[in-house]
Every structure is written in structure tokens, then in C-alpha cells.
């Protein structure tokens, strides 16, 4: 026994390697190859357990592959559902716009926002890059609207893109009027005060909820485009002008689809 133990100890690595090799062969080699060497009885004793183990490993591999395929399918389905939901929302917005009648001698050109230019610590948008330009007959100073009203004008044009100067840009003032009384004023945006209706005399009649529309003066914006409604009015005795704050008809934090107004008169 001492002699046998000594031989076993000295060759233990070789024996371990041999056992691992036999184990590997019994798992990987097919039954048809092993049977002629081992016979039926030996197959039952030695090979079948390893064959079952190999089958279990193969099944686990198949399950893992199925799980990966299912995860990929679920991810793709989730993306498709998200895309369909967004398409439904866009369809709803576009249907709302169908009732809009463009001003006389104008047609609408649908565009999409590519990016927004932000200003100030509140990150309020003052400009928008759109996906159409000179190649689509977009020109500087064309009015831009959405389904709620006026949002700005085309400021710069490139072959495939353009920049829209929004009404929230303090440099973009619009000649406007009160829809009912027809009195004129200037709509402009102040980072401190928000959108205001300026230059209206103190004796003018204006009330909260009054509609403010474009006047048509200045040659950029056609008359009658919705801009805002009056949010609050402050009259101070002795002042020659009223202080008027507006609520824009368009939500500049949520603008998506825009429409360029293209004149049909060349």
C-alpha cells in the first residue's frame, strides 16, 4: 500500500488530468461512439450519468439563449409601443391643427424642431433650429406658428436648416392690437417680467382675458395671428401707460411641431 500510495502521490497530477479528460470525453462524445468501446452494461454504469449531465448543460444553454431572445424581443416590442404612442400623440396634435385657417395668401409649411437655444438661469428657449431651409424655400422673416398661435419668425436660413427667433427673445418685439378694441401696442418679452403688452395709453380700455393678436404692421407678421391673452392689468394714477402682463397662447417650454407661413404672392 505504501508503494501504491507513493506512486499515486507522485503521479497525482497526471491521474487528475486523465480523470478530467475521461470526464470531458464522456460528456462530449456521442453515445454512438462510446457504445462500441464500453458495451451496453458499461454504458449504463458509466456513460449515461455523464450523458444526462451533458443533456442538462445543453438544456441550460438553450434556456439561457431563449431568455436572451425573449429579452431582445421585449425590448424591441417596448420600443415599438413607445413609438406608436408618440405617433398617436403627434396625430392628435396634427388633427387639432386641421381646423386652423392660414391668413389669406399664405400657406403653411410643417417643420420640426431640431434643437432649442436657451437663455438665462431658468433656461428659457429664445430660438429654435428647424429641419428645413433654403432647399425648402424657407426665407428670412417668414412668420412661424404652432397650433396655438404665433411663436416667432425665421431669423437665419441655411440650405437644410433654419433658425427661428422666438417671441421669448427680448430682441423680438411684435406690433399687436387688442382684438376687441383694436388699440395698438407692442408685445415683447422681458426675462424679469415675462411677456408684456407695452406702449398702451393709460386711458385705453383693456381687461384680463382680452385676446392680443398681431396687427399686420411692420411687414413681417400678417394681421390676426393669436399671440396671447391678458393675464393682469395695472394702472397707476399719473402714469401715461398701463402695465399689462400677458399669458402667451403658445407654451414655449413645450413647442414641438411648428409651421412656417409662406406667402403665395411672389
In this structure, are 23 and 57 located in the same domain? yes
Examine the domain organization and report whether 94 and 142 are in the same domain.
no
Angular region, 209: left φ>0, alpha ψ -120 to 50, beta rest: left
Kindly state whether residues 91 and 149 are assigned to the same domain. Answer: no
Q: Looking at the structure, do residues 28 and 153 belong to the same domain, yes or no?
A: no
Please give the helix or strand (H or E) that residue 209 lies within, else none. none
Q: What is the pLDDT of residue 161?
A: 95
Are 95 and 215 found together in one domain? no
pLDDT at 256: 79
Q: Which of 57, 78, 99 is the last residue of a domain?
A: 99
Residues 195 and 232 grouped into a single domain: yes
Report the C-alpha gap between 110 and 131 in whole angstroms: 10
pLDDT at 30 over 70: no
Rounded to 5°, the CA angle 234-190-156 comes to 140
Tell me which residue of 168, 171, 173 sits closest to 185, measured CA to CA: 173
Listed residues 99, 116, 142: the one ending a domain: 99
The residues facing 154 across adjacent strands are: 164
- Model pTM score: 0.64
* Cα 233 from Cα 228, distance rounded (Å): 14
User: Domain total for the chain?
Assistant: 2
Task: In whole angstroms, give the CA distance from residue 173 to residue 17.
Answer: 87
Which domain range does residue 154 map to? Answer: 106-263
Q: Which of 76, 99, 122 is the last residue of a domain?
A: 99
pLDDT tens-digit series, residues 36-56: 544 444 445 555 555 566 666
Amino acid at each position: 500500500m505504501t508503494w501504491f500510495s507513493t506512486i499515486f502521490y507522485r503521479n497525482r497530477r497526471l491521474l487528475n488530468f486523465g480523470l478530467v479528460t475521461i470526464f470531458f470525453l464522456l460528456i462530449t462524445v456521442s453515445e454512438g461512439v462510446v457504445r462500441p468501446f464500453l458495451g451496453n452494461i458499461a454504458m449504463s454504469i458509466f456513460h449515461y450519468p455523464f450523458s444526462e449531465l451533458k443533456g442538462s448543460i445543453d438544456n441550460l444553454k438553450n434556456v439561457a439563449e431563449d431568455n436572451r431572445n425573449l429579452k431582445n424581443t421585449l425590448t424591441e416590442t417596448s420600443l415599438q409601443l413607445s413609438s406608436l404612442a408618440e405617433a398617436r400623440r403627434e396625430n392628435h396634435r396634427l388633427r387639432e391643427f386641421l381646423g386652423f385657417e392660414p391668413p389669406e395668401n399664405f400657406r403653411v409649411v410643417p417643420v420640426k424642431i431640431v434643437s432649442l437655444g436657451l437663455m438665462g438661469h431658468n433656461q428659457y428657449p429664445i430660438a429654435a433650429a428647424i429641419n428645413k431651409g433654403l432647399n425648402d424655400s424657407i426665407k428670412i422673416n417668414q412668420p412661424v406658428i404652432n397650433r396655438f398661435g404665433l411663436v416667432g419668425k425665421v431669423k437665419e436660413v441655411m440650405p437644410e436648416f433654419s433658425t427661428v427667433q422666438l417671441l421669448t427673445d427680448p430682441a423680438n418685439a411684435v406690433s399687436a392690437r387688442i382684438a376687441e378694441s383694436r388699440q395698438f401696442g407692442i408685445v415683447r418679452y422681458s426675462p424679469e417680467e415675462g411677456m408684456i403688452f407695452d406702449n398702451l395709453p393709460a386711458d385705453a380700455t383693456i381687461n384680463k382675458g382680452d385676446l392680443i393678436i398681431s396687427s399686420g404692421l411692420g411687414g413681417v407678421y400678417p394681421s390676426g395671428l393669436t399671440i396671447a391673452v391678458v393675464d393682469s392689468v395695472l394702472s397707476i394714477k399719473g402714469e401715461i401707460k398701463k402695465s399689462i402682463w400677458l399669458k402667451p397662447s403658445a407654451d414655449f417650454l413645450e413647442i414641438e411641431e411648428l409651421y412656417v407661413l409662406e406667402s403665395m404672392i411672389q
